Structures are given as structure tokens and as C-alpha cells.
Amino acid sequence: MIVVEGQRLTREQVRAKANDFVRKLGVVQGDRSVARWVEGICPKVMGLSPDHGRIVTDRLRATIRTIGAPLAKTDCDTNLLVAFVSDGKDMVAIINDRRPSRMAQVEGPERRALLESDAPIRWWYTIGIGSGDGAMTGATPSPVTGGNSESGSSMLPDGVPMGGSFASSLIRTQAVRILSAATVVIDVHRAEGVSLNAAADYAAFVGLAEVRGKAQPPVPSVLNLFALQDRARNLTDWDRRFLIELYDLPLNRFGRSQRGHLVKALVDEDGTGPAD
């Protein structure tokens, strides 16, 4: 008989893992608050047969419902596009050359990574600005656009958006960041061997949260699908709990407050974290 003994992590160790998880995702940077969907999410899958496309779409919609994110009716305008293509790098280059406005918010290293990396899956976002009560105040660009910055908005040096509604508070922000479109491009050749369910779960995670490109959390996560360690072939307990808490926390808070909320939520009352 083989006995495998594991060492129980202390509360401090679990909290350190949770903090590193949130940090590696990049959803909170400085005092810049998180971005998430406020309007109904309308996923569309391209590049697959109707039957296979339906499998991915159904899994995306099931995940959206499970974590409590807003889901649009089936007859809706696409704002979450998941495209299966033969060459991801070439596809992004075509979009950049022919329709550069569709990637207008992607800048600097993020843009270079989209255009030059050999990543099997790449993604970008459109971020809108809403008032402190969540109402959209900026124009909503069309799908297949995006980035992680807000072009044309008034910004403080540390990245805190200003505008929207007046609130005399050191805790509440005057504006919120809203995901209004997301594009996920999956290279079927570089992702060879990955199941449709795994691809759908990966697309769901990066489509529902503003995740930094090439994020590899230090815990079991579907984002480590192509990594050597902490690999997972579907959404893990860490992933699900994070997404559920992301859609439960107040949007009109500064990033430091939201980061603390997310980290705390990932640590159980008994000091343990999500199951590995």
C-alpha cells in the first residue's frame, strides 16, 4: 500500500497563494478597479462545425449562468466572440492591418504580444467607462475590438478613471470600468490535443475577467492549460470561486479594496483555500 502524505498549508500560506493568484491575473493594477460585464453577455463561436460550435456555446453560457454574470437572451448582438482559426498570429495581423480600429485600445507590450507571440490562445477587450452606479457613460465599440486601457478618458497618473457621478467618498469611485466586448482567438494547430471543453473553459475565464496576457497563476487553473505546472483541463475550484466573487464585489470601489475582497474570498473561514 502506498500512502501519500500532504502538508496542510497555514492560513498565511493559503492567503499568500490567493494574493499571488489575484496578482498574476492582473485584474487589479494599483488603484485601477476591476472591469466586468454589466450588460448581458452574448457569446458567439466561429470557425467550428455547427455541432461543435454548439458544444462550446452551451458550455460558455452555462459558465456565465453558474458564476452569476449577466447573460443575454439567445437572440442578441455578439459581444463575446470566440474564434477558432488555423493561424492565430496571422488572423490578428489581418485584423490589425485591415481594421486597426478594432484593436484601438490595445497598446504597447500587449499589442506586440498579440501580434508577435506564438500563444495558442490570445484575447483582448473593449473597456467602457460607467458612472458610479454602473450606468454606461462612454460609447460601446463593436465586438472584435479592445484592450486593457481606456482611450480618451480622463485618467489620474495611477490609472484611476475620473468622471461619471459625484460621490463624496474615499472608498467609492466616481466611475466604474465595464467590459463591453471581448475577443478570444484560438489557434487550432497550436492548441492541438486540447479538448473542446478545455478550450471553452479557457475562453470563458479570459472572456469574463480582464486577464493579463500569458497569466499563469501559481495554483491549479485552466489558465495553466499549456503550462508545465498546476495544469488543469477545465475550470478549477480556484477559477470558479474567483469568478463568482468577481461578479459579487462592488464595482465602484478602488482597486486596493477590490483586491483585498478577492483575496479574502479565496481563503475559507477555516484557513483553507479552494481544492487543488
pLDDT in tens, 51-98: 999 999 999 999 999 999 999 998 999 999 999 999 999 999 999 999
Q: Considering the chain, what percentage of its residues have pLDDT values greater than 90?
A: 58
- Among 141, 136, 149, which Cα is nearest to 77's? 141
- 143: nearest Cα among 78, 97, 74, 205: 78
3-state secondary structure of 37: strand
How does pLDDT run across 5-50, given as a tens digit for each residue?
445 668 888 899 999 999 999 998 888 889 999 999 999 999 999 9
pLDDT at 60: 98
**Which H or E element spans position 91?**
helix 88-98
How confident is the model at residue 103, as a pLDDT? 87
Query: Distance between CA atoms of 103 and 188, rounded to whole angstroms?
Result: 22
